[in-house]
Structure 1
């Protein structure tokens, strides 16, 4: 079966957004709200077990601030939504200042895919506005148009590791999972894509490098550049220093 489409996760896959992006923005939102909460690098790694910003706040409250959650009562949903809006505003400001670059090899791989006629989609739990600003500030004003489908945020009720967001994207593209490759960075992302029937390439990062990627089609430390080669952690050996479209097509078609 030939490869027809690449389905990209965003946070941790296109850019290292978590440690120095989302985490920082959450802490800025907490301070703005007069809260003495501080999500350290280590604590945020724990909270990443939950996908979705609002869901992550709720998980933190349940595990670390149960008295606060109980006191909020019926107003908890409204409180979380407002805090998340504030966090998003701070995160977008970080993006606009150019403080969150793409990971190595991302721009190269996207350019190759477009030249080679592969279809592209975004499949993520982050908000559409976050996707929009990240793509615009790192790839240019027209980058949103490179992607046939932007499946993001609350477009489906169940977030990763549920397969719903991938199923939504596949249906919107009119493609079966057997001709698509998901590109993810986390165990939750892998589980989501695999449950939808997609083969998955995982590019690990600081937060996810120790997770279980059993069943992944390929695991690498990055997509790679000529001067900064990718390292294969699981799966077929690369034919050069980078994960490129020629390798993906050949490996995808191999029995």
Structure 2
């Protein structure tokens, strides 16, 4: 089956933005506002079960800081902290602190070469998505990305399918013509609800999540110097695993996986 579009999630998929970006930016915002909080790596992993930065911070206040005296309304306070956090996040990205994950640039380049459309489907705000792309990708690579569907463009964030449905609408493609690259169960559920097949690349935060409905789960996309490992896969694509394990994901392999997994 001909693959017409490859849709990338952003945070944790394109780059390790959660641990080294958003978490750090929240802590810097807390410092600036003299708030007595710091989120360590393990605790932030628990908060990641909540999709979206504003939603995550609201959840933290409602569940971990119930005695905190808000200086304004809850919504206003959350928006202000999140705005300052995003400024720090943009600076971290601009400073090249965050790098693309293994194989991302290679696969994007291969997709472009094979006339496969590239799109983004992210829970993050579009400003943060563009900041990350500007800080990690060349202008040429950015020009290849035809569609950005972001969290502030839809009513419901992942695991709702809204972001993927928006991406499909902008691409003017049907779900079976697309494959997404995700890193979380939330993202997988969102893609599945939109009837889009998913490939998972786990990270330290998501490696123990449930990915039973994914076509295949990898540690990363792999490249010629750093091969990927297959963690789990659907039985229908078992014949393709020798071509992928200890190698790297290609557009041809994605098309073969898509054809096998119906």
Instruction: From the superposition, tell whether residues 25 and 248 of structure 1 become closer, same or farther in structure 2 (CA, over 3 Å).
Output: same
The count of aligned residue pairs is: 253
| Aligned equivalents of 2:72, 2:38: Cα separation in 1 | 24
- Of 193-202 and 231-240, more deviation after overlay is shown by 231-240
Identify the residue that residue 88 of structure 1 maps to in structure 2.
86
Task: Say which of 107, 118, 123 aligns to 2:116.
Answer: 118
State the 1:142 CA deviation: 4.0
Partner SS state of residue 207, structure 1: coil
| Aligned equivalents of 1:144, 1:27: Cα separation in 2 | 29
Residues 151, 163 of structure 2: 8 Å contact kept: no
Partner SS state of residue 148, structure 1: strand
Task: Say which of 233, 253, 257 aligns to 1:251.
Answer: 257
Aligned residue runs from structure 1 range 206-221, under 5 A: 206-221=204-219
- The one-character-per-residue Cα deviations of 1:106-134 (angstroms, maximum 9, x if unpaired) are 00000000000101110001121211121
Instruction: From the superposition, tell whether residues 176 and 94 of structure 1 become closer, same or farther in structure 2 (CA, over 3 Å).
Output: same
| Aligned equivalents of 1:129, 1:217: Cα separation in 2 | 31
Partner SS state of residue 110, structure 1: helix
| Aligned equivalents of 2:67, 2:15: Cα separation in 1 | 35
Runs of at least 5 residues in structure 2 that lack an aligned partner in the other structure: none
Aligned residue runs from structure 1 range 202-241, under 5 A: 202-235=200-233, 236=237, 237=241, 239-240=243-244, 241=247
Identify the residue that residue 172 of structure 1 maps to in structure 2.
170
Partner SS state of residue 67, structure 1: coil
Instruction: From the superposition, tell whether residues 97 and 176 of structure 1 become closer, same or farther in structure 2 (CA, over 3 Å).
Output: same
RMSD: 1.4
State the 1:145 CA deviation: 2.4
State the 1:144 CA deviation: 3.1
| Aligned equivalents of 1:164, 1:73: Cα separation in 2 | 34
TM-score (norm 2): 0.93
Partner SS state of residue 121, structure 1: strand
Instruction: From the superposition, tell whether residues 80 and 215 of structure 1 become closer, same or farther in structure 2 (CA, over 3 Å).
Output: same
Instruction: From the superposition, tell whether residues 222 and 72 of structure 1 become closer, same or farther in structure 2 (CA, over 3 Å).
Output: same
Aligned residue runs from structure 1 range 112-151, under 5 A: 112-151=110-149
Runs of at least 5 residues in structure 1 that lack an aligned partner in the other structure: none
| Aligned equivalents of 1:190, 1:238: Cα separation in 2 | 24
TM-score (norm 1): 0.95
